[in-house]
Amino acid sequence: MSTIDSHDLNGTTLRRDSTQILSGKYHIYITLALDNISFSIAPRLLFLSATFAMAQATEQSSSCKINLNPDTTDIKYTSYANLVRSVQLRSGHTYRYVFKAPFNSSLPTLLFLHGWPETSYSWVNQIEYFTRHGYGIIAPDMIGTGGTDNPNDLESFTFKRTASEMDELLECEELDQVIGIGHNIGSALLSRLQHYHPNRLSALVFLTLGYSVPGADLTRDFVDATNEATLAAFGYPLLGYWYFNERDDAAVVTDKHLDALYNIAYGTDITWAPNITEVGALERWLHADGRIPFQNEFLTDTTLAQWRTILQAQGGMDGPFKWYRAMMRGYNTADEQALKLSTSPIVTKRSLLIVGDNDPIAIPSIQLNNTVPYIPFLTVRTVPSRHFMQADTARDVNRHLHEFLQSLEK
């Protein structure tokens, strides 16, 4: 049975008989990381030293050639830079990712899937915490972000293709099963990884955004219907900013105002919702170089500078915005239609949903209604956060996640 503690729901009313917001024909599902070779020895030893160094720089795993020393200039000051590697997959895409094996074989490996406008750096607080506790970690920069390739075609940004690449990445690291943890768009990707490659996941964790049923296609029609329904229900459209994110020139505008984007995404202020959810508000905020104060230990001017450094070194916001163009322009539509016809929406694995009780976009009641009916063995927790809970309330998120992982061992 679902585990929902009343003291955790902070007044949220769960309606099991109302799993969707309806608007016309659209069912609204808001699912929304050996340079120093000595040349002072004899030539023969020099050759052997260079050969050894090259061997140390790569690791052969099944058919994958893993680069143990990728370019990490943009993240050299992070706590996990020494854990970063890369690999080229069969698609030709090279993924950069954080990897650490578990301290012992009794502990699982955690797969962290980030959302927008993020990279694997958004998991820094979880990487530090769970490696200290011995868990294995694999946290990729998703396609188009961080040190991972940013292909031109939007087909590369579809959920089915990316789920297949996540499956291949796990195969490269010889990980038969992991516990999947997704946030934002990463939650939707986690759902699709479960649908297309169910044997890879032993348990699922959704942060902020809940489960995405087969057939949930986030096209422009879906966004229009969602905004119409939520404007009527809550007084503002939840996805008004998607229209800007889908535009071809969105990155051109945003790259000139990265600090303003970070502030509106991660800052804590009552003006957060109207400055991002209202249609046109995000672009106005960027042009005005808006600022919101950071109010906790995990969001500082230094974390802003590190986030900005990664983006500026890796091509700016062009890649991250392609996820929205692919979704809204229907690149997932055929896959979603086929998946709906072939796959049960029910997931019987142990799962955790953590919602933010101050999140004005991923509203907890909607996430519960989108998730609870389909995942019978579900634990629900809330944290006093806005949308980016893994940074906003890192201690609470880590505690709930760790308790869930420990419960799986019983």
Per-residue pLDDT of the chain (410 residues; tens, 9 = 90+): 444 443 344 333 333 333 333 333 333 333 333 232 222 223 333 333 333 344 446 676 667 999 999 999 999 999 999 999 999 999 999 999 999 999 999 999 999 999 999 999 999 999 999 999 999 999 999 999 999 999 999 999 999 999 999 999 999 999 999 999 999 999 999 999 999 999 999 999 999 999 999 999 999 999 999 999 999 999 999 999 999 999 999 999 999 999 999 999 887 666 667 788 899 999 999 999 998 888 788 999 999 999 999 999 999 999 999 999 999 999 999 999 999 999 999 999 999 999 999 898 999 999 999 999 999 999 999 999 989 999 999 999 999 999 999 999 87
> Do residues 31 and 210 lie in contact, with contact meaning Cβ atoms separated by under 8 Å?
yes
DSSP 193: H
Contact predicate 183/191, CB 8 Å: no
Q: Give Cα separations from 219 to 28, 159, 324, 326 (angstroms).
A: 11, 13, 9, 9
Closest to 111 (Cα-Cα) out of 163, 181, 55 = 181
Tokens 């959704």 — which residue? 206
Which domains, ranges and CATH numbers included, belong to the chain?
Answer: 67-216+333-409 (3.40.50.1820), 220-320 (no CATH)
Look up the pTM and report it.
0.88
Q: How far apart are CA 56 and CA 352, in angstroms?
A: 39
Bridge pairing between strands 64-67 and 58-61? antiparallel
For residue 113, what are the β-bridge partners? 182
